[in-house]
Amino acid sequence: MTESLPSRQHVTGSASVLGASAADEWAALVATAVLGTDRRLPPPPLPGWDAWGRAADPAVAVLDRSVAIVAARRAGACPVPAPEGVLRPAPFDDRPLCPLPCGIRLARILAGEHDVLLPEWLALVEGLGVQLPWVSLPTLLLRARRNPRLDQVVRRLARGRAAWLADAVPELGVSVQGLVPKADSPPFAPPPRMPDSGAVVASIVTLFVDGQATWATAGQLRILTAAIDPVWLPSLVVELSRMPFQAGTERTRADVLGLAEFRLEMHREIDAARIATAPSTAPSTAPSPASSSAHSSSSTGEPA
Amino acid sequence: MTVPTTTVRPTPEQVVLLAPDRAAAAAATAAADPGAWSAAGCDDEAVWGQYIATSAEPYEVAVDLGGPAFRCSCPSRKVPCKHCLGLLLLHAEQRVVPAKRLPFVQQWMQRRDRHPTAHPAAEVPAVQGAGDDEVGVAPDATGVRTSRSAVGDQQQRDQRRLDRAERMRAGLTELDRWLADRVRAGLASPELADPATWDRLASRLVDAQCGGLANRVKRVATRVGQHARWHEDVLEEMAVLHALARGALRTSALPEMLADGVHAATGLTVNKDDVLAGVASTSRWLVAGESRVREDRITVQRTWLCTQGDDPASPATTWAMVLAFGAFGNEVTTEHVVGTELHADVHWYPGATPLRALVGRQHEPPAPAHRAPTPHTVADAVAQAGLAVAREPWLERYPVLVSAVLVPVGNGRWMLADHTGAVPIAPGFWRLAEVIAVSGGQPLTIMGEHSADGVMPLSMWADGVAVAL
């Protein structure tokens, strides 16, 4: 493994710029230093390098001469000629860029913050019709290596850039063609919206009021919070925020409240991006999933 | 009991004459800003106030006009410090109103009253201050300041300085001898592969108060056995250490700026107040990149600020590096966020290549920068780095800002390339795939640290938005 790493001199190629005398002088000094001046005295300096190394002690002379070479090589380092045409450009993508807040939100999700929301984020962005935030593409592809359904979604959203990246960076270990999911594997999609989200929110709040929302129930409550219709998220946030402190449920409350707030912010960012990217001629013809849900929910009644 | 004496209000010119040096006089003018003071007051004998500094607590400043004698809780070793001078300037300009003494002023003045040598009327040539931070200075008849500072304190300080210089000299001599011994015995000697060999040397350098050199030695140790030709890397670093040790033993013979650079590299620290007392560069500074390195138990954070000239075609880029340290369990905080812009004063530490700096007064709150900085070509960036290394050959890294495409060169290595050439990306950069994904094979503005190993990218700009790496 370590054999494959080139030395600095080989990497920068700067010694070649200094000319053969510097390379020869350096090679002689390295050979002497490796063996030790007790075994081998340094050869006399080559022309151009004889101003240094006048010390009586051969070891000090080797160090003095090395300083001259190192200083000259570092200060005179030049770029090597650029290799040409090795990396082909990624396929052109005419979609708008992903809005910055949405990209930051994805990075937070991928960093482990409420990653239960990843399917929903991907679905919302797909509906928005924007590019993926490319900085997160490698992480998404790496995460999808064990989940062919996610791989499908990511490649669909990334269009040709996923395959391009996998081909360009083989060290990433991502398949260029993509993974084939098993027929019976579940789709990588957000959980279906609960038709009775209002009742679910009321149930969650009741659990906290009754002191039954212990940490053991947190996982289930998180799944419910991730599945309720987004129009009910503000109600849930308000109810959980004004809940009095109970030692037995406080940890769960903070956890569920954090998720609800995070998801609510996510929907707001997507809605803002949708308004920003909507054609000016028809600003209200493409309602968001959140707003469409709002319509459907409002027909069933406002949150209590 | 002493009889209160009415003193004459000094003129601003007399106050400036009290300054220990020109830098302190200049800094005092800046400190004489009424907005920077709270609870400032005066009476016939003293003037006092609290200077609102960047630290958590304001500095308590008091001046006994009868001496005059000075008291300030700031860490500056200068007497009088810029805060005392600034307060006196305010007083001289009649911008300090009479008020009741603050408790710390009351206590200090009482101690001075009790002290037999507190007032010049006692005709005692030197005054030993009541507090550690108090020193008296008496203007003589000609207006030229005459130091009555605590002779004992000065002697102790001189002795400490001499002791430290002697320890450093011993450490540097030992380092140079150790290096020669290694070359004498050969780099192939198994002793060199033992980390304890390097650790012992680093510990001795720490004892000798050469912390900068100790860290370098530890970094060299990590290069042993890293690849087949590691001897070249190690000899290279040993040669630089040899140059530094020799240079540090002869700083008096070096040009001033070079000597300052040697001092910084060996680990001699410069007082922050002294740096802040220097001439500031006021500009709009872009926070261009940030790197964090774990050294032993300390996290070292380097924040790179840059400002560019007015020429849009090829703007000259000026760099400043703000260092921050986080000890184990007390992580370093990000004070300046990458991609933001500061309108601030920057003060550089002395050195042949001014890089390390302190951010002084910020004139506006930081705000997100709305455009990417203008990058340089790869050749220009490398040439600038080379110029800096020519001035200080021990310089380990220099910032570069380039627009380049990423090009694979095989074996998992990549380069940053443009029409002027290519430089390798330093090994150990683990976010390469993200940079490539963002670039899409097109040129990308990248800021990084150029070193002997290549360029370590720290940030990139995608569609004008900075992304920290």
pLDDT digits (tens, 9 = 90+) for A160-188: 888 899 888 888 888 888 777 787 777 88
- pLDDT tier, B264 (very low <50, low <70, confident <90, very high otherwise): confident
Would the CB atoms of A79 and B421 count as touching at under 8 Å? yes
Counting residues of chain A whose pLDDT is more than 90, the rounded percentage is 27
Q: Which of A2, A25, A37, A67 to mutate to test the interface with B (most CBs of B within 10 A)?
A: A67
Residue type, B132: D
Counting residues of chain A whose pLDDT is more than 70, the rounded percentage is 83
State the burial class of residue B189 (Cβ atoms within 10 Å of its Cβ: 0-12, 13-18, 19+): middle
- Quick one: average pLDDT of A21-27? 83
- pLDDT tier, A19 (very low <50, low <70, confident <90, very high otherwise): low
- How many contacts, defined by CB atoms under 8 Å, are there between A and B? 197
Task: Give pLDDT tens digits for B213-228.
Answer: 888 898 899 888 888 8
- CA–CA separation, B184 and A34 (whole Å): 9
What single string gives the DSSP state of each residue in B250-289?
TGGGS-HHHHHHHHHHHT----HHHHHTS--EEEEEEEEE
> Which helix H or strand E contains B440, and what residues bound it?
none
Q: How far is A256 from chain B (nearest CA, A)?
A: 29
Q: Which of A2, A3, A8 to mutate to test the interface with B (most CBs of B within 10 A)?
A: A8
State ipTM: 0.77
Would the CB atoms of A66 and B242 count as touching at under 8 Å? yes
Residue type, B60: E
Give the pair of three-digit tokens for residue A236.
Answer: 């849930």
Would the CB atoms of A64 and B242 count as touching at under 8 Å? yes
CA B426 to chain centre: 27
Other Cβ atoms less than 10 A from the Cβ of B105: the count is 26
For the cut 50, the answer to whether the pLDDT of residue B427 exceeds it is: yes
Would the CB atoms of A81 and B422 count as touching at under 8 Å? yes
Q: What per-residue confidence (pLDDT) applies to B289?
A: 93
- CA–CA separation, B397 and B451 (whole Å): 5
Among partner residues A12, A34, A57, which is closest to B187 by beta-carbon distance? A34
For the cut 80, the answer to whether the pLDDT of residue B256 exceeds it is: yes
> Which helix H or strand E contains B364, and what residues bound it?
strand B357-368
Give domain limits for chain B: 12-149, 162-266, 275-469
In chain A, whose CA is at the least distance from the CA of B409? Answer: A83
Give the predicted TM-score (pTM) of the model. 0.69
Among partner residues B235, B417, B433, which is closest to A172 by beta-carbon distance? B433
For the cut 60, the answer to whether the pLDDT of residue B352 exceeds it is: yes
What single string gives the DSSP state of each residue in chain A?
-GGGSPPHHHHH-HHHHH-HHHHHHHHHHHHHHHH-TTTSPPPPPPTTSTTS---SSHHHHHHHHHHHHHHHHHHT--PBPPP-S-SPPPPP--SPPPPHHHHHHHHHHHTTSSGGGHHHHHHHHHHHT----GGGHHHHHHHGGG-HHHHHHHHHHHTHHHHHHHHH-GGG---SS-PPPPTTSPP--PPPPPTTHHHHHHHHHHHHHTT---GGGHHHHHHHHHHS-GGGHHHHHHHHHTPPP-TTTHHHHHHHHHHHHHHHHHHHHHHHHHHHHS-TT-TTSS--HHHHHHHHHHHH----
CA angle B460, B466, B469 (to 5 degrees): 50
Q: How far is A190 from chain B (nearest CA, A)?
A: 26
- Contact between B317 and B382 (Cβ < 8 Å): no
- Contact between A178 and A155 (Cβ < 8 Å): yes
Contact list, B436 vs chain A (CB under 8 Å) = 87, 165, 168-169
For the cut 90, the answer to whether the pLDDT of residue A262 exceeds it is: yes
Residues in chain A: 304
- pLDDT tier, A297 (very low <50, low <70, confident <90, very high otherwise): very low
Q: Which of A108-112, B20-24, B319-323 has the lowest mean pLDDT?
A: B20-24
Contact list, A138 vs chain B (CB under 8 Å) = 433-434, 437
- Identify the DSSP state of B80: S
Contact list, B413 vs chain A (CB under 8 Å) = 6, 11
Contact list, B420 vs chain A (CB under 8 Å) = 79, 82
Counting residues of chain B whose pLDDT is more than 90, the rounded percentage is 21
* Mean pLDDT value across chain A: 81
Task: Give pLDDT tens digits for B69-127.
Answer: 888 887 777 778 888 888 988 888 888 888 888 888 888 888 777 654 444 433 333 32
- pLDDT tier, A257 (very low <50, low <70, confident <90, very high otherwise): very high
CA angle B385, B448, B362 (to 5 degrees): 95
- pLDDT tier, B54 (very low <50, low <70, confident <90, very high otherwise): low
Task: Give pLDDT tens digits for A39-92.
Answer: 888 888 887 777 776 778 889 999 999 999 998 888 888 888 887 667 788 888
Would the CB atoms of A88 and B463 count as touching at under 8 Å? no
Contact list, A10 vs chain B (CB under 8 Å) = 229
Give whole-number Cα distances, B77 to B132, B161, B174, B274, B323, in Å.
Answer: 11, 13, 31, 9, 22
In chain B, whose CA is at the least distance from the CA of A38? Answer: B184
For the cut 50, the answer to whether the pLDDT of residue A242 exceeds it is: yes
Task: Give pLDDT tens digits for B388-416.
Answer: 998 888 888 999 999 999 988 887 888 99
Residue type, B370: H
